[in-house]
Amino acid sequence: MSLKLFDLTGRTALITGSSRGLGRAFAEGLAGAGARVILNGVDAARLEGAASDMRAAGHEVLTAAFDVTDEAAIIAAFQDFDAQGVAVDILVNNAGIQFRKPMLDLATADWRRVIEANLTSAFVIGREAARRMAPRGRGKIINIGSLTSELARATVAPYTVAKGGIKMLTKAMAAEWGEAGIQANAIGPGYMVTDMNEALLSNPDFDGWVKARTPMRRWGLPEELAGTAIYLASDASNYVSGQIIYADGGMISVL
Ligand code: GCO
């Protein structure tokens, strides 16, 4: 009985920003648990490449190319899902950008760009998904936060503010959509080996800091987040909502 709780067979999951990095790892994990996955990105060629790789591995994969900062494109994508009879049961709001610059030098346009991509997008896509989940009486929303959902690091203020907002948006979604049978939770990845972190990984001082500051003394691998995503996407978490689960090698818990 207990393993069945984690079975996603018959469920469809939309993962934003999923042609590579953490989003791809979430898609692989959810597909491995039986879900049909919808990959999203702005680069249609990269999206198709990821989809064909996953199909070759035996997974059921759809693609939806849209920019998560383009509300009209998001609405059109969900209208396409409606027209195709595709019901999104699980939404992973993963897409986001990083922009590292001290606030004294930060242009307001760059501030706004990061907030739009990392926070407002999760609200808009979450709203469109929840509008369709509510009548069905069930749905899973998984927002991707960060260690910076709790703690600030100098030079990444807009990202930190957006990720702090992700934590509270998750609670707001839990507050408003619980009675419709929707659970909204978040995952807080630690320092992960991704393209977005290339500049940090290749900096010996930063790499040393991460390893010293993390109880497990290493960076995390994207596939190490899949289990938490499967849990939050499955019936195993049906009475869990408004939570953020850190998969960070213990970093957030220690001085
Ligand atoms: C940075 C990193 C972090 C990590 C992650 C940590 O510049 O500090 O990009 O933001 O990506 O969010 O949880």
pLDDT digits (tens, 9 = 90+) for 173-223: 999 999 999 999 999 999 999 999 999 999 999 999 999 999 999 999 999
Instruction: Report residue 102 as tokens.
Output: 């001290």
Residue with CA nearest ligand 1 atom 2: 197
Contact of 132 with 88, CB cutoff 8 Å: yes
- Give the Cα separation of 72 and 205 in Å (integer): 43
Residue 190 Cα to ligand 1 middle (Å): 7
Q: Which domains does the chain have, with CATH numbers?
A: 3-248 (3.40.50.720)
Q: Tell whether ligand 1 has an atom less than 6 A from the beta carbon of residue 93.
A: no
159 lines ligand 1 (CB under 6 A): yes
> Containing H/E element for 65?
strand 61-65
Q: Is 147 in the pocket of ligand 1 (CB under 6 A)?
A: yes
Q: Which of 159, 191, 231, 246 is catalytic?
A: 159
Residue 54: Cβ within 10 Å count: 20
User: Quick one: which atom of ligand 1 is closest to the CA of 188?
Assistant: 13
CB of 177 within 6 A of ligand 1: the answer is no
Four-point Cα dihedral 215, 216, 218, 222, nearest 10: -120
Please report the pLDDT score of residue 143 as a whole number.
99
CA distances from 128 to 11, 68, 69, 123, 143 (A): 18, 12, 14, 9, 14
Amino acid code (one letter) for 231: Y
pTM of the model: 0.98
Task: Convert the pLDDT of each residue in 75-132 to its tens digit.
Answer: 999 999 999 999 999 999 999 999 999 999 999 999 999 999 999 999 999 999 999 9
Q: For a substitution probing ligand 1, which of 99, 100, 114, 147 has the most ligand atoms within 8 Å of its CB?
A: 147
